[in-house]
Structure formats: structure tokens, C-alpha cells
């Protein structure tokens, strides 16, 4: 199953999967035997299911740009440079590009000035604004002066000591915060559990990260690949999220490169180009699903009749991928129904003739993590306006 997962990601995103999962999984799996294997299987099944599903086709509205460090937290440094300054400069330039060229997208910054923001609050900003994408910008460092190049991280298990050190360094800002007790050590077990919870966004994160690395390569940057590590700020966000290490300030040539305004603009432009490609893919799916909804799946007008069968259903998700409607594929939800609608499969839960009962089922579905789930009304098997279904159910 793991090999199948790897091959799909290689074909879809051409990422360096040597940095992902396998070594740590070999260490962890024997410890938990059957339960862990089942857990991993479920996580991968959910990943496949959500591969082309973007939050039920919700329109892209908001991006949060996070400039790493700030204030008394300088981050790493080079000769005449500080990570907090370079990260902020690139973040502001990226935000300006999006604000100028994509006026339908709201840009939110975790900071626009040289101020300190806790890791917890950075994630809270993104979560509270219901962001569709979280972009965290940093600069890198190494004990040696020779490493150079750009790399982009998504949440997951690190494989190399170097990746562990980078995550530890970026997470070390916790020591500068007043309330350290709200954080706890991110163990491999917790990372697996969290990755499972956020599996709906993992492939989207990898897809975006891959586009970023492609764009960096186009401007002559060394492509160090898409990697995974346990960054606290990614751990706490609940949307597609990436952390970009733009370059090594401990490398003299890269330090000089990143200090220059024109090169910061190049980096921002490269990230923007990746953002544009990612958003275009997402908008395409949204428009296709919207067309489907206004076509065959459009609510039909109905007239009152005591002979009509009124039903309420919760749409959990829709996807171009088909998955068996078993409870273990839907976080324990039972009696999930599947319906083919054009090129999409729609997954329904909680079918009932009672609007009171469907509201309870909706609460259950959202509690399981289906935050975008919603109620639909049907009369004699055809979708109708929800309010009309509610009125008919009363008769």
C-alpha cells in the first residue's frame, strides 16, 4: 500500500519521496502492529479519496501569508542579514502581487511589520479566517557553509537529521514565548495522527509545494525538493499549508543573493507563479462542480402534495475519485451513500425524512471533521430547494 501511495505521488507531483515516511514508518509500525497498520491504511485511503476534491468545490477566497519570526525573534542570520527581515520582505512582495493581480482573493498577513507573533497565533489567524491556503516564508541555516538552495515543506515525518534540525530550529521560537505550556512535544505518533486528520489537504499541500519548487528552478535556484517535517505552525493549521525555506543565510553567496531587493522580488514572483497555477487548478474544479450543480443537480421546483416523498441528506464530499462507502473510509460514519453525477461522485450521509434528525446528523458529520458538509432536500428522489423540502416535510 505504501509503495502504491509513493508511485501515485511520484506520477502526480514528481516530488522527492525519499524524504517522506518510509524510514520512520519502519521504526513506528512494529511498535503498534495491527492498529498502526490499519491507521496508516485509512490515512492513505482518505488521501486517495481527496486527491482531486477541494473542500467540496468551495471558491478560493482567502490566502494567509506568514513571514517567519519577527520582533525579538531574529531567526537565523548571515553577514548583514536577518531571517525575520528577508522573510517579511518576500512576504509583503508576494502579497502585493496577489492583491494587484487577483483582486478576488483576500490576502491576510500574520505580520506586516517587525513584530513578534507566536506560532500558536499564526495558525489561529489562518484558521479563524477560514483560509484556503497558508504560505509560511523562512530562510535557512546550516552548521556548514556549503549547503545552498530552496526547499518547501509540508507537514509530516522527517527522515534526515538535517530536516529534524530545521524543524527544531524553526520551532525553537517557543522558548521566546511567555506561555510555553500550551505546546507539547510533537512525537512521530502525534504527527501520524495529525497527518491523518489533515489528509484532505496533504496532496493539495504537496501539489502547491511542487509548483513552488518548479518556479524556483526556473529562476536559477537549486531545487532541494519537497520535504516533510514537524513544524508546529503547519501542525496547527487546518488547510493546505506549506513552509518555504528560501535559501541559506549561512552560505555567503546565497546570503548576498537574498539580501538584494531585486532577488527578493524574484523569489516572490516565483511563489506567486506557483500560487497562480495552484489556484487555476482549484478554480477549474470549482467551476466544473458549479456547472454540474446548476445543471443536472440543480434543485427542481415542486408543488405541495401529501403523496410526495421528502428526504434530507448531508453531502459529505464530492470527488472525481470513487471510494467504497464503507464506514472506515468515512471516519466511522455509517450508511454513507454514493451517487455518480457527471464526472463527480457525491457522498451522502444521514438520509431521513425528518429535518430535526438531519440537523443532528449534520452536527455529527461536522464533529467527525467534515466541516464543509451541508444539508440537501429531495422530493421523490429529485433535489429541490431546501426550504421547500422543509415546508413539504411539515405537511
Residue with the bigger pLDDT between 107 and 10: it is 107
Tens digit of pLDDT for each residue in 110-129?
999 999 888 788 888 988 89
pLDDT at 139: 94
Q: What is the largest CA-CA distance in the chain?
A: 80
pLDDT tier at 382 (50, 70, 90 boundaries)? Answer: confident
CB-based burial label for 37 (10 Å; 0-12, 13-18, 19+): middle
CA distance 206 to 323: 21
CB-based burial label for 210 (10 Å; 0-12, 13-18, 19+): buried
CA distance 235 to 188: 12
Average pLDDT over residues 157-179: 48
Angle, CA 94 vertex, CA 90 and CA 97 arms, to 5°: 145
Residue with the bigger pLDDT between 307 and 186: it is 307
pLDDT at 279: 94
- The structural domains of the chain, ordered by start, are 2-285 (3.40.630.40), 310-394 (3.30.70.1070)
Angle, CA 293 vertex, CA 288 and CA 298 arms, to 5°: 155
Q: Model pTM greater than 0.85?
A: no
pLDDT at 264: 98
Q: Are 19 and 225 in contact (CB under 8 A)?
A: yes
Tens digit of pLDDT for each residue in 169-207?
444 444 444 554 544 555 555 555 555 555 567 778 888
Tens digit of pLDDT for each residue in 312-327?
999 888 776 677 788 8
pLDDT exceeds 70 at position 310? yes
Q: Are 129 and 237 in contact (CB under 8 A)?
A: no
DSSP string, 334-376: -S-EEEEETTEEEEEEEEES-HHHHHHHHHHHHHTT-TT-EEE
Distances (CA, A) of 345 to 127, 203, 288, 327, 390: 28, 19, 13, 17, 25
CA distance 224 to 16: 9
Angle, CA 13 vertex, CA 9 and CA 17 arms, to 5°: 55
pLDDT at 121: 85
Provide the percentage of residues in the chain whose pLDDT is more than 70.
67
Q: Are 110 and 67 in contact (CB under 8 A)?
A: yes
Distances (CA, A) of 255 to 81, 82, 84, 246, 248: 7, 10, 13, 11, 7
Average pLDDT over residues 7-31: 40
Averaged pLDDT of the chain = 76
pLDDT exceeds 70 at position 290? no
Least confident of 78-92, 134-148, 292-306: 292-306
Average pLDDT over residues 54-66: 78
Q: Are 78 and 249 in contact (CB under 8 A)?
A: yes
Residue with the bigger pLDDT between 3 and 164: it is 164
pLDDT at 177: 47
CA distance 33 to 51: 27
Tens digit of pLDDT for each residue in 66-112?
999 999 889 899 999 999 999 999 999 999 999 999 999 999 999 99
Residue with the bigger pLDDT between 144 and 182: it is 144
Which residue, chain included where needed, has cell 444521514?
350
Tens digit of pLDDT for each residue in 344-361?
788 899 999 999 999 999
Q: Which has the closest alpha carbon to 155: 287, 47, 37, 4?
A: 47
pLDDT tier at 133 (50, 70, 90 boundaries)? Answer: very high
Amino acid at each position: 500500500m505504501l509503495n502504491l501511495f509513493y508511485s501515485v505521488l511520484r506520477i502526480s507531483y514528481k516530488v522527492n519521496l525519499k524524504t517522506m515516511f518510509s524510514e520512520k514508518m519502519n521504526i513506528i509500525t512494529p511498535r503498534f502492529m495491527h492498529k498502526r497498520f490499519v491507521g496508516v491504511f485509512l490515512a492513505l485511503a482518505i488521501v486517495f479519496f481527496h486527491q482531486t476534491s477541494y473542500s467540496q468545490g468551495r471558491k478560493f477566497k482567502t490566502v494567509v501569508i506568514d513571514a517567519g519570526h519577527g520582533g525579538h525573534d531574529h531567526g537565523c542570520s548571515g553577514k548583514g542579514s536577518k531571517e525575520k527581515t528577508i522573510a517579511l520582505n518576500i512576504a509583503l512582495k508576494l502579497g502585493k502581487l496577489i492583491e494587484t493581480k487577483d483582486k478576488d482573493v483576500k490576502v491576510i498577513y500574520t505580520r506586516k511589520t517587525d513584530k513578534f507573533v507566536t506560532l500558536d497565533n499564526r495558525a489561529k489567524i489562518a484558521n479563524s479566517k477560514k483560509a484556503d491556503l497558508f504560505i509560511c516564508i523562512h530562510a535557512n541555516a546550516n552548521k556548514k557553509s556549503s549547503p545552498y538552495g530552496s526547499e518547501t515543506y509540508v507537514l509530516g515525518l522527517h527522515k534526515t537529521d538535517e530536516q529534524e534540525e530545521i524543524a527544531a530550529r524553526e520551532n525553537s521560537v517557543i522558548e521566546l514565548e511567555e506561555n510555553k505550556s500550551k505546546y507539547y512535544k510533537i512525537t512521530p505518533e502525534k504527527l501520524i495522527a495529525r497527518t491523518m486528520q489533515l489528509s484532505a489537504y496533504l496532496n493539495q499541500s504537496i501539489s502547491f509545494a511542487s509548483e513552488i519548487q518548479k518556479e524556483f528552478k526556473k529562476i536559477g535556484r537549486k531545487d532541494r525538493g519537497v520535504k516533510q517535517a514537524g513544524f508546529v505552525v503547519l501542525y496547527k493549521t487546518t488547510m493546505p499549508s506549506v513552509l518555504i525555506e528560501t535559501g541559506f543565510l549561512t552560505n555567503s553567496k546565497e546570503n548576498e543573493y537574498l539580501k538584494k531587493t531585486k532577488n527578493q522580488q524574484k523569489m516572490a514572483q516565483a511563489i506567486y507563479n506557483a500560487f497562480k497555477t495552484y489556484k487555476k487548478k482549484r478554480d477549474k474544479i470549482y467551476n466544473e462542480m458549479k456547472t454540474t450543480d446548476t445543471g443536472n443537480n440543480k434543485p427542481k421546483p415542486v408543488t405541495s402534495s401529501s403523496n410526495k416523498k421528502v428526504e434530507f441528506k448531508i453531502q459529505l464530499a464530492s470527488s472525481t475519485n470513487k471510494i467504497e462507502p464503507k464506514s472506515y473510509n468515512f471516519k466511522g460514519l455509517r450508511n454513507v451513500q454514493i451517487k455518480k453525477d457527471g464526472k463527480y461522485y457525491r457522498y451522502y450521509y444521514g438520509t431521513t425524512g425528518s429535518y430535526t434528525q438531519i440537523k443532528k446528523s449534520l452536527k455529527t458529520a461536522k464533529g467527525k471533521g467534515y466541516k464543509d458538509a451541508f444539508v440537501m432536500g429531495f422530493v421523490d428522489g429529485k433535489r429541490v430547494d431546501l426550504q421547500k423540502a422543509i415546508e413539504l416535510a411539515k405537511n
